[in-house]
Amino acid sequence: MKLKIAGFLLLFLFILGACSSAESTDSEQTESSRKETEKTEVLTGNTFDLVAEEAAHSLNSEVHVEAWTFNNSVPGPELRVKEGEEIKINLKNKLPDPVTIHWHGVPLENNMDGIPGVTQNAVQPGDSYTYNFTASVPGTYMYHTHQDGVNQVDKGLYGSLIVEPDEVSYDQDYVMMLDEWMSNPVTMDMANMNHENMSGMEDSEESAEEKSMADDMSNYDIFTINGKSGDEVETLTVKEGEKVRLRLANIGFMSHQIHLHGHDFKVVAIDGQEIKNPDDIKDQLLSIAPGERYDIEFTADNPGEWYLECHGEIEGTKGMKARIQYENQENESTDKPNDTIDLPKFDFMTYGEDKKAAFTLDQIYDVEYTMNLNTEAKNNATVYTINRKTYPDTDNIQVEKGDLVKVKLVNKSDSEDHPMHLHGHFFQVLSKNGKPAEGAPILKDTINVKPGDEYIVAFKADNPGNWLFHCHDLHHASAGMVSLVSYKDYIVDFSPDPDVNNKPE
């Protein structure tokens, strides 16, 4: 018996030793071979190379994370193309996991949408893949991996795609990508889980605990603008008299309430779609949900240094601030952050001038569909459901080319927003909680449905394929809240490979 115990003890010590030595080699390697991220580049033209690779990234002077990047920066390169240009992007995967690129908001051909298992097979480590499409609609878009997005996007695998119109009406143009990070990252890392298991924790306990930690949004304690937080956020410089366009794009999993100080501004586009005759507004918060983009314009007519900042009471908020600095400014700035005060929220349901819209509430539609979005407990885990089902068992919205489609989105969850994103199409927002939209027609690809709210949207089925319609809080998507708009008779041009670990949600 004693011998047996000694044997076990030896075995245990041996495993412990093997474990810790493997770990130290790993971390030494990490330190010596991993590079640091560089500044995000702006790339123009029509052909781009994007390399998915690992790099060490500093969120601020204290917090450094292991990021997954495109071209060694977070965000990846800002791609600027001209309206109507045919563009080509070569993706090379140098990461240990498969990846794809989804062109968020861009209306393109279905086989270029970058959805593993739905429009292509995930691009394996060491492999390459080429995307090409026409940048037909000017506006602010994003690109990001759509493979295991809840983990991969969270690590920094994203960037912006700006389709510039033929005629540009502004002097300065800045993109600001909003995101959240954890100073103590919780990952679903297999090696980590095995290690934990050795210390006697049950597999199921461990994964349940990790899952609930990852779901708990309070772990996201650092908010970033273009990958940086606090003093590290780049200052925007403007000259007096200039017309400035800011493109605010939320790639994170939380909504952010953005306040521009010191200036009247117009919301000129939402989700890449221009708004007709926008009014000047001031001191209103733009609530920007995951997946949404807001383009604002203002005239630099108030010299000084001004904040553009996130409002709210939670931990990460204070780091999400950019300074807008006038060139050759002589006076000391007197602007102060006021991120905890409450301000009225911008409402796109009543904004802009009422112009004849493509769709109305009472016209006849070929397809009408209701999506009840909910949170449920299944097998000790929280799942996110559409009509009580989770992906891939959710019902497809079946359409034929040319169909006019009306969708009612209802959030039945108690406390969580569901920013629902449709691929390949823009929809028009017709009503909110039974009240018809009043201002300019609002076209979007992402709509944030808050608990208890109901929106009706409409679109024309004019782009054949299989298109995801899913929650862009990717925690919710990965836990079921995904469905497909599926065109009858559409045949995919690839064979889904069961061995490549396609993870579309």
Binding to Cu ion in span 360-389, by CB under 5 A: none
Binding to Cu ion in span 277-296, by CB under 5 A: none
DSSP type of residue 498: T
CB of 369 to Cu ion, least distance (A): 18
Binding to Cu ion in span 20-79, by CB under 5 A: none
d(CA 26, CA 23): 5
Comparing CB distances to Cu ion, the nearer of 351 and 427 is 427
Which of these segments, 125-133, 163-171, 298-306, 470-478, binds Cu ion (CB under 5 A)?
470-478
Comparing CB distances to Cu ion, the nearer of 162 and 373 is 373
CB of 285 to Cu ion, least distance (A): 21
Compute, in degrees rounded to 10, the torsion defined by CA atoms 359, 361, 367, 370: 130
Amino acid identity of residue 437, one-letter, is A
Binding to Cu ion in span 316-335, by CB under 5 A: none
∠ CA 251-62-231, rounded to 5°? 65
CB of 311 to Cu ion, least distance (A): 22
Buried b (16+ CB within 10 A) or exposed e, 435-461: eebebbbbbbbbbbbbeebbbbbbbbb
Comparing CB distances to Cu ion, the nearer of 129 and 391 is 391
Binding to Cu ion in span 405-464, by CB under 5 A: 418
Comparing CB distances to Cu ion, the nearer of 111 and 219 is 219
In the list 53, 113, 148, 473, the residue contacting Cu ion (rule: CB under 5 A) is 473
CB of 250 to Cu ion, least distance (A): 14
CB of 470 to Cu ion, least distance (A): 9
State residue 231 phi and psi, 5-degree precision.
-65, -20
Comparing CB distances to Cu ion, the nearer of 55 and 482 is 482
Is the preceding omega at residue 75 within 30 degrees of 0, hence cis? Answer: yes
CB of 449 to Cu ion, least distance (A): 8
Q: What's the half-sphere exposure (Cβ side, CA atoms, 13 Å) at 147?
A: 24
Comparing CB distances to Cu ion, the nearer of 54 and 505 is 505
CB of 447 to Cu ion, least distance (A): 12
∠ CA 271-272-273, rounded to 5°? 95
One character per residue 96-135, x = contact with Cu ion (rule: CB under 5 A): ----------------------------------------
CB of 103 to Cu ion, least distance (A): 21
Comparing CB distances to Cu ion, the nearer of 92 and 472 is 472
d(CA 503, CA 320): 31
CB of 275 to Cu ion, least distance (A): 26
CB of 490 to Cu ion, least distance (A): 27
DSSP letters, 7-24, are: HHHHHHHHHHHHHHHHHH
d(CA 197, CA 297): 53
Site size for Cu ion (CB under 5 A): 4
- Whether 425 contacts 446, CB under 8 Å: no
In this structure, the strands spanning 454-460 and 427-432 are antiparallel
- Helix, strand, or coil here: 433? coil
Comparing CB distances to Cu ion, the nearer of 112 and 409 is 409
Which of these segments, 44-52, 212-220, 453-461, 471-479, binds Cu ion (CB under 5 A)?
471-479
Strand partners, 326: 238
Comparing CB distances to Cu ion, the nearer of 148 and 473 is 473
CB of 160 to Cu ion, least distance (A): 23
d(CA 338, CA 311): 8
Which of these segments, 54-62, 168-176, 290-298, 467-475, binds Cu ion (CB under 5 A)?
467-475
Q: What's the half-sphere exposure (Cβ side, CA atoms, 13 Å) at 238?
A: 29
DSSP letters, 350-411, are: G-S-----S--TTS--SEEEEEEEEEEEETTEEEEEETTB-TTSSPPEEE-TT-EEEEEEEE
- Whether 339 contacts 280, CB under 8 Å: no
In this structure, the strands spanning 172-181 and 243-250 are parallel
Comparing CB distances to Cu ion, the nearer of 95 and 407 is 407
Comparing CB distances to Cu ion, the nearer of 382 and 398 is 382
Structure token digits, residue 134: 């026409």
Binding to Cu ion in span 137-166, by CB under 5 A: none
CB of 373 to Cu ion, least distance (A): 7
d(CA 499, CA 116): 12
CB of 207 to Cu ion, least distance (A): 21
Comparing CB distances to Cu ion, the nearer of 256 and 476 is 476
Q: What's the half-sphere exposure (Cβ side, CA atoms, 13 Å) at 36?
A: 5
Which of these segments, 190-198, 333-341, 451-459, 472-480, binds Cu ion (CB under 5 A)?
472-480
Comparing CB distances to Cu ion, the nearer of 425 and 475 is 475
d(CA 358, CA 216): 40
Site membership for Cu ion, residue 471 (CB under 5 A): yes
By CB under 5 A, name the binding residues for Cu ion: 418, 471, 473, 476
